Amino acid sequence: MRSDLVYWGAIAKIGGMDEKQTPNKEQPDELTRKMSHWQKANPHATLTEIEEAVEAELAQLRKQLVEEMVQEKEAASQEAPDCPQCGQKMVKNGRRQRELKGKEGETIELERQQWRCPSCGATLFPPG
């Protein structure tokens, strides 16, 4: 899963965050386009309302970035963990949807590999 995210004039490639390019001025990024549309729909917005609208969009972008980066991290490391109970190698036990709380209180939805120990039956969602 490779994703290009445009963020205020810089393209951040998940898995290669140091790769940056400046897009053509005629092609504004998605966030700038959304905020421009919002501003046109709310021409008399106060500074507080503008800040709240920007924060809401940034929260969505932050959530998307975190979800994609965690999914890429998991995809890159599929080595079976050792069971924390008995030390045996664990086996894949299907994928499960996880909902975690981010530091800003937002719900982050992840599909994660669940592992099961064939010896003792313990299950595990690796941290990360």
Contacts of 83 (CB under 8 A, 6+ apart): 89, 90, 117, 119, 120, 122, 124
Range of the domain at 126: 79-128
Q: What is the pTM of this model?
A: 0.53
Q: Are residues 84 and 123 in the same domain?
A: yes
6: pLDDT confidence band, cut at 50, 70 and 90?
Answer: very low
Model pLDDT for residues 55-86, shown as the tens digit of each residue: 888 888 888 888 888 778 777 777 888 898 99
49, 76, 103: which is the final residue of a domain?
Answer: 76
The CB-side HSE value for 10 (13 A sphere, CA atoms) comes to 8
Is the pLDDT higher at 120 or at 60?
Answer: 120
Q: 90 and 54: one domain?
A: no
Express each pLDDT in 13-35 by its tens digit.
434 444 444 444 444 588 889 99
Helix (H) or strand (E) holding 8: none
Q: Where does a domain end: 57, 76, 95?
A: 76
Residue 31's CB: how many other CB atoms inside 10 A?
18
Instruction: Please check whether residues 3 and 41 belong to one and the same domain.
Output: yes
